[in-house]
């Protein structure tokens, strides 16, 4: 991350001096537990992290949106909020085109803008750089238009942008936590009712360490959408079995129903459903355990979550499995698991503060020996959701 003054200078180089310039920050996120549950009306427990996207922006009166990125110096992409907004190139601008299109569709009168985007989140690293770009530029558009918007509504608009313009049928977790995270807390979130419980992450007792396998996860590859469809097949089975039970999503299915479906429901669909149903239980229990400082219990549930994602949901990979097993060989580590959509990206570990450095050094060393690449490892505190910095 560049200093605010450095990115503002870069903004001036790209777009010229003068006018009122705003700086917006939108954090990435790490999910402690509750994976692939959000689109099943279930529970998640993410927190916003220190790595973030910054958007430096200034209004334009001609409706043009001109976009630059510190990752691609010298390139400027352009579209207009006064014409129908469509997908375009380069691909990263589609997140912003999508957010603009959805805001216009929601009746918000947008002005054009010059915007420079700076990102310290690894792209494709499973820490929601796309949600951070969406929420950050959404907040930039709203700020320049002088419009206040409820953060949950902004999150929904950004989610829709991702569906329509990036083509990935994501749930609400990422956009929700990027838009509404609370400093010092993880958020246990009920994706059906929108109810929140804040779980204190006190850095004196507990540290959150993220290790990036550097395996790029590609949710657009179709596996994510496939999992969603398999869950829907599961729902259809349970609905047919108990028409009066009011089953709307896997959220409404119990472990008892899963056991009873053994040998009747197709084995693969059953395993997908078993992951979601058990993960919802683990998430509620882990959030409670964390709130009561029962870190060993929370860590154990994270281990179980990883195993379920690996064996039943099949969204892990050899690198993530290796990192989560190796993390547990370090004294003082409570739990570790893959985080985010999977197929690469990061693991998250909960650890005693005094074990942070040993853990990071150990994982970097053994991973390099095994896979020949040096992963990035860092500790983070829980930060606040997106905000206007100046």
Residues lying near ligand GLA in the complex (CB under 6 A) are found at: 35-36, 38-39, 170-171, 173-174, 340-341
* CA dist., res. 263 & res. 283, Å (int): 27
194 vs 180: CA distance, rounded Å: 12
Nearer to ligand GLA, 115 or 178 (CB): 178
Smallest distance from the beta carbon of 162 to ligand GLA, in angstroms? 7
According to DSSP H, which parts of 71-122 are helical? Answer: 93-105
CA-to-CA distance for 103 and 106, rounded, in angstroms?
5
CA angle in degrees (0–180, nearest 5) for 166-72-376: 80
CB 47 within 8 A of CB 379: no
Q: Based on CB atoms, which residue is closest to ligand GLA, 108 or 225?
A: 225
Clarify whether 252 is annotated catalytic. Answer: no
Rounded CA separation 318/300 (Å): 20
Residue 188 CB, nearest approach to ligand GLA (Å): 14
Q: In what order do the strands lie in the sheet with 77-80?
A: 77-80, 64-69, 112-119, 46-60, 22-31, 387-388
* Nearest distance from C-beta of residue 236 to ligand GLA, angstroms: 20
Contact criterion met (CB below 8 Å) for 337 and 305: yes
Provide CB contacts within 8 A for 297, sequence distance 6+: 285, 286, 289
The Cα 223–Cα 40 span in angstroms is: 16
Nearer to ligand GLA, 335 or 341 (CB): 341
36/282 with CB nearer ligand GLA: 36
At closest approach, how far in Å is the CB of 221 from ligand GLA? 13
- Output the smallest distance, CB 342 to ligand GLA, in A: 7
* Helices (runs of H) and strands (runs of E) counted in the chain: 11, 13
CB of residue 83 vs ligand GLA: minimum separation in angstroms? 29
Residue 322: partners with Cβ closer than 8 Å, 6 or more residues away: 366, 367, 370, 371
Supply the minimum distance, in Å, between the C-beta of residue 136 and ligand GLA. Answer: 16
From the candidates 114, 118, 174, 312, give the one annotated as an active-site residue: 174
Tell me whether residue 174 or residue 319 sits nearer to ligand GLA (CB atom): 174
For residues 99 and 173, which CB has a smaller minimum distance to ligand GLA in the complex? 173
Closest CA to 186 of 102, 62, 298: 298
Nearer to ligand GLA, 171 or 299 (CB): 171
**Half-sphere exposure of residue 21: CA atoms within 13 angstroms, side-chain side:** 19
What are the distances in angstroms from CA 333 to CA 265, 306, 348, 351?
Answer: 38, 15, 11, 4
Q: Which residues are catalytic?
A: 174
């Amino acid at each position: 991350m560049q200093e605010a003054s450095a990115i503002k200078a870069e903004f001036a180089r790209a777009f010229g001096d003068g006018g009122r310039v705003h700086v917006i920050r939108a954090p990435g996120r790490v999910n402690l537990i509750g994976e692939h549950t959000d689109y099943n009306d279930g529970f998640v427990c993410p927190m916003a992290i220190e790595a973030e996207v910054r958007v430096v922006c200034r209004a334009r009166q001609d409706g043009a949106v001109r976009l630059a990125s510190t990752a691609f110096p010298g390139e400027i992409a352009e579209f207009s909020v006064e014409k129908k907004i469509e997908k375009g190139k380069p691909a990263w601008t589609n997140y912003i085109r999508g957010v603009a299109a959805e805001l216009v569709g929601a009746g918000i009168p947008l002005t054009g803008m010059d915007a420079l985007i700076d990102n310290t989140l690894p792209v494709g690293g499973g820490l929601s750089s796309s949600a951070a770009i969406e929420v950050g530029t959404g907040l930039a558009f709203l700020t320049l238009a002088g419009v206040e918007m409820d953060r949950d509504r902004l999150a929904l608009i950004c989610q829709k942008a991702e569906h329509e313009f990036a083509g990935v049928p994501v749930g609400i977790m990422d956009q929700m936590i990027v838009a509404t995270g609370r400093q010092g807390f993880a958020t246990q979130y009920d994706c059906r009712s929108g109810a929140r419980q804040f779980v204190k992450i006190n850095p004196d007792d507990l540290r959150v360490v993220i290790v990036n396998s550097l395996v790029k996860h590609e949710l657009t590859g179709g596996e994510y959408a496939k999992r969603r469809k398999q869950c829907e097949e599961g729902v259809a089975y349970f609905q047919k079995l108990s028409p009066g039970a009011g089953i709307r999503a896997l959220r409404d299915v119990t472990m008892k129903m899963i056991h009873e479906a053994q040998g009747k429901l197709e084995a693969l669909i059953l395993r997908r459903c078993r992951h979601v149903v058990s993960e919802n239980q683990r998430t509620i229990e882990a959030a409670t355990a964390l709130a009561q400082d029962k870190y060993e219990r929370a860590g154990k549930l994270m281990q179980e979550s990883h195993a379920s994602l690996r064996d039943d949901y099949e969204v892990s990979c050899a690198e993530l499995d290796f990192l989560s097993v190796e993390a547990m060989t370090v004294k003082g580590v409570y739990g570790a698991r893959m985080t985010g959509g999977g197929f690469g990206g990061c693991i998250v570990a909960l650890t005693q503060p005094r074990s942070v450095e040993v853990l990071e050094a150990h994982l970097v060393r053994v991973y390099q020996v095994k896979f020949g690449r040096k992963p990035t490892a860092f500790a983070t505190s829980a930060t606040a959701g997106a905000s206007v910095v100046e």
